[in-house]
Amino acid sequence: MSSAVGCRAHSVHVVVQNVQLPVWVLYPTEATAAAQTFGPYTLDVAMDAPVAGLGLPVVLISHGNNGSPWTHRGTAMHLARAGHVVVMMEHIGNSRSDGSLAGTVDILTHRPRHLREVLQFVRDHGAYDTHADFTRVGIVGHSIGAYTALAAAGGRPVTTQYDIPTGKGEPVPVETLDFIRALVLMAPAAGWFAPPGSLADVQAPTLLLRGEADMITPGFHADIVAGSWPGATPLTRVDVHGAGHFSFQSPFPPAMVNPAFPPSQDPPGFDRVSYHEQMNAQIASFCSRHL
C-alpha cells in the first residue's frame, strides 16, 4: 500500500440542525504529498489527489466533548497509510468551534446522526466510488466519541441525571449505521449505557482502550461497557498503564503543550509520543483484521 496520504475537504449539510459539518477524508494515494496546514497542525498530504486502491475499508473518527477531529490526526494518518479510507468530521454543536449543545440530550441524538449523514455523503461522492467498500465500516471514538460509536453500532442509550436531572432513564433516539464491522473505543464515556442490556445489539468486534490514570472517564465507564457487553461479540479491553483521558489524542505541537491546555498534558511519567507509535499500530492492525 502507498505510504503517501491524500486528503479531501468537504462540507456536509445536516438538515435537522441546519448546520454544515466540516469533513476531511484521508486515504492512500500515489500522488506526491506536501506539507499542508490545518489550523495549528501541519500534515504531509496530497490535497484532492486520486485514491489509490480498490475496495478499501472505511473508518469514521468521532472526537470527544467540545473537541476537534485533528486531535486524532496521527491515528487517521496511520490508518490511511495502512490502506483505509478515513473520514474525520467536526461534530458541530459539540466541538471546539461550536460547543452550543454540549451536555444536552440533543447532542446525544445528533452525534450518531452526523456519522450516518457524513457516511452517506462520502458514499455518494464520486471521488470514492469503487475505491471504498462501504460494507466494511469501522468507527474510532474518543470519550463521548466512543458513546457515539456505540450508539451508531446498535447501543441503546438512556439519559442520565447529568442530562435531565428530573427525567433520567429516558431512551435517547439515535440512528444506527449499517455494515459496522469494528469499533475502537478510547477512554469511553459510557454512562448512557448503564442499564443492563443496553449494548445487547452491538455485533461489531471492539477494542477498548482505557487509561489507568483517567480522572474524566474513570474505570467504571469501561466496566459499564464490559458489564453490558453481549457474550457473542468479541471485546478486547486494554488498561493502559499511566495513561490519562487525553493521552489517546495525538501529541500536540510543542507550542501548544502547556499546563493551561489540559488536552496537552499527561500524568507524570507517561510518554504520549512513544505510546502513540504502539497505539496507532494496534488500532490499524485491529481494523485491518476485522474490516
Give CA–CA dist 47/5, Å, rounded.
9
pTM above the 0.95 mark? yes
Q: pLDDT by residue (tens digit) across 223-277?
A: 999 999 998 999 999 999 999 999 999 999 999 999 999 999 999 999 999 999 9
pLDDT on residue 3:
83
Range of the structural domain that residue 33 is part of: 4-290
Neighbouring residues of 187: CB distance < 8 A, sequence distance ≥ 6: 64, 142, 143, 146, 209, 210, 211, 214, 216, 217, 221, 245, 247, 248
CATH of residue 86's domain is 3.40.50.1820
Q: pLDDT by residue (tens digit) across 127-180?
A: 999 999 999 999 999 999 999 999 999 999 999 988 887 777 899 999 999 999
Give CA–CA dist 59/15, Å, rounded.
23
| Structural domains of the chain, count | 1
Strand order across the beta sheet in which 56-62 lies: 34-38, 41-47, 4-14, 19-29, 85-89, 56-62, 132-142, 180-186, 206-211, 235-240
Q: What distances in angstroms separate CA 174 from CA 84, 103, 276, one per listed residue?
A: 26, 16, 32
To the nearest whole number, what is the mean pLDDT of the chain? Answer: 96
CA 287, 46, 113, 66: dihedral to nearest 10 degrees? 100
What is the three-class DSSP state of 122?
helix
